[in-house]
Amino acid sequence: MLVLLRKLKMKIIPVVRRLLGKPVLKLNKTKISRIVREYGDTWSYYVEPIGQGEPFKAGQFIHLMAPGGEVSHKFVRHMSVASLPTETELLFSMDLSSGTPYKTLFKKAKVGTEVLYFALAGSFTLEGVAPGSHIVFIAGGIGITPMRCLIRDIESNKRDIRWELFHVGREYLYKDDFQIYSDRYRQLGRDGVEAMLDEAASRGGQTWYFISGSHSFVEDLSAGLQKRGIAEERIKLEDFSH
Ligand SMILES: Cc1cc2nc3c(=O)[nH]c(=O)nc-3n(C[C@H](O)[C@H](O)[C@H](O)COP(=O)(O)OP(=O)(O)OC[C@H]3O[C@@H](n4cnc5c(N)ncnc54)[C@H](O)[C@@H]3O)c2cc1C
């Protein structure tokens, strides 16, 4: 349902902009400033923000076009911004192993390559999380990207929010960033999920659960928490699957 709505939005926005006499899409132009191979075929791309930077909330995603591609489903993907709005570079990380035309163009990209993006969006944010709350972040693989941004937001703005992070995977993107929070950061494999859910569900009180990753991951973990008595309203999901 969510996926259909997103696709519909991509079709409706150009029509509305055309009716208002505006350019069909407001494309932001930027350049790749750094490329880092994280592990295997997972890469991080740092791009220069325009002017004072795009206004966005921590946890949101962007419509990122493949370098040299056109505005079409083939060459546009949702990508969570892993850096803070106030940082001097925007960071995106992605797994290129699918070898789709989109990922192939990113594989060919170099420092200095031009990249276009548009329409920041998303509700996987701290909106509605009251001061004094506790957040359990649960990431599946590449689903860690929006959480890097959310955690940096909490820490650098000294928000009155306690958090802990469980990263489920085989490799752990951004592990160096989280190493300093060794008391709140846990890496685990699929076989550790049930025990982790038992522990996470025992937090009680003002706890929020943020889960991101593939469709099956967010669905399974959300169902697992609800089976353990967590109310659906306390769970925020970012489903990476289209
Ligand atoms: C809110 C949101 C945030 C996201 N943030 C990130 C992020 O930070 N990082 C990130 O990496 N991803 C993110 N995603 C997912 C991203 O948008 C892409 O969906 C994902 O990277 C897969 O894109 P793709 O081009 O590799 O595969 P897609 O073209 O989307 O295809 C999905 C799968 O189908 C397979 N496939 C495609 N075409 C064919 C074919 N013709 N025959 C057989 N198999 C095929 C591919 O192997 C691939 O595994 C996010 C998604 C959402 C919704």
Looking at residue 180, its pLDDT comes to 96
End-to-end CA distance of the chain: 10
Looking at residue 27, its pLDDT comes to 84
What mean pLDDT is predicted for residues 125-133? 96
Tell me the CATH architecture of domain 2-121.
Answer: Beta Barrel (2.40)
Q: How far is the CA of 72 from the centre of ligand 1 (A)?
A: 14
**185 close to ligand 1 (CB < 6 Angstrom):** no
**98 close to ligand 1 (CB < 6 Angstrom):** yes
Q: How far is the CA of 97 from the centre of ligand 1 (A)?
A: 10
**145 close to ligand 1 (CB < 6 Angstrom):** yes
Q: How far is the CA of 162 from the centre of ligand 1 (A)?
A: 32
Looking at residue 85, its pLDDT comes to 82
Domain boundaries of the chain, sorted by first residue: 2-121, 133-239
Distant-in-sequence contacts of 34-40, Cβ < 8 A, 24+ apart: 34/89, 34/111, 35/109, 35/110, 35/111, 38/93, 38/171, 38/173, 39/171, 39/173, 40/95, 40/97, 40/171
CA 242 to ligand 1: nearest atom: 19
Looking at residue 102, its pLDDT comes to 97
Give CATH for domain 133-239: 3.40.50.80
What mean pLDDT is predicted for residues 41-52? 85
